[in-house]
Amino acid sequence: MDRFSWTTGLLEMGETLVVQQRGVRLSDGEEKVKFDSGVLLLSTHRLIWRDHKNHECCIAVPLSQIVFIEEQAAGIGKSAKIVVHLHPASSNKEPGPFQSSKYSYIKLSFKEHGQIEFYRRLSEEITQRRWESMPTGQAMQVNKDSQAGRIRAVGIVGIERKLEEKRKETDKNISEAFEDLSKLMEKAKEMVELSKSIANKIKEKQGDITEDETIRFKSYLLSMGIANPVTRETYGSGTEYHMQLAKQLAGILQTPLEERGGIMSLTEVYCLVNRARGLELLSPEDLVNACKMLESLKLPLRLRIFDSGVMVIELQSHNEEEMVAAALETVSEKGSLTADEFAKLVGMSVLLAKERLLLAEKMGHLCRDDSVEGLRFYPNLFLTRS
Partner 1 sequence: QMSQQLGTFRSHLEAFASKHKQEIRKSPAFRLQFQDMCATIGVDPLASGKGFWAEMLGVGDFYYELGVQIIEVCLALRHRNGGLITLEELQQQVLKGRGKFAQDVSQDDLLRAIKKLKVLGSGFGIIPVGGTFLVQSVPAELNMDHTVVLQLAEKKGFVTVSEIQASLKWETERAKQVLEHLLKEGMAWLDSQAPAEPQFWLPALFSELHGHD
Query: 1 to 60, contacts with partner 1 by CB under 8 A?
Result: none
Which of these segments, 8-16, 58-66, 72-80, 86-94, binds partner 1 (CB under 8 A)? 72-80
Which of these segments, 8-16, 66-74, 130-138, 251-259, binds partner 1 (CB under 8 A)? 66-74
Q: Give the whole-angstrom CA distance, residue 117 versus residue 361.
A: 50
Q: Give the whole-angstrom CA distance, residue 9 versus residue 242.
A: 57
Which of these segments, 38-46, 51-59, 109-117, 159-167, binds partner 1 (CB under 8 A)? 109-117
Instruction: Kindly state the smallest distance separating residue 363's Cβ from partner 1, in Å.
Output: 20
Asked whether position 309 contacts partner 1 by CB under 8 A, the answer is yes
Asked whether position 371 contacts partner 1 by CB under 8 A, the answer is yes
Q: Cβ distance 64 to 70 under 8 Å?
A: no
Of 217-256, binders to partner 1 (CB under 8 A) are 217, 220, 222-227, 234-236, 241
Whose CA is closest to 26, among 126, 91, 87, 96? Answer: 96
Instruction: Kindly state the smallest distance separating residue 180's Cβ from partner 1, in Å.
Output: 6
Q: Give the whole-angstrom CA distance, residue 243 versus residue 291.
A: 9
The burial of 295, by beta-carbon neighbours within 10 Å (0-12 exposed, 13-18 middle, 19 or more buried), is given as: middle
What binding mask, one character per residue, do residues 254-283 give for partner 1 by CB under 8 A, x or -? -----------xxx--xx--xx---xxxxx
Of 133-172, binders to partner 1 (CB under 8 A) are none
The burial of 1, by beta-carbon neighbours within 10 Å (0-12 exposed, 13-18 middle, 19 or more buried), is given as: buried
Where in 157-248 does DSSP place strands (E)?
none
Asked whether position 211 contacts partner 1 by CB under 8 A, the answer is no
Of 282-301, binders to partner 1 (CB under 8 A) are 282-288
Q: Give the whole-angstrom CA distance, residue 82 versus residue 114.
A: 11
* Residue 81 backbone dihedrals phi, psi, to 5 degrees: -135, 160
One of 181, 215, 325, 383 touching partner 1 (CB under 8 A): 181
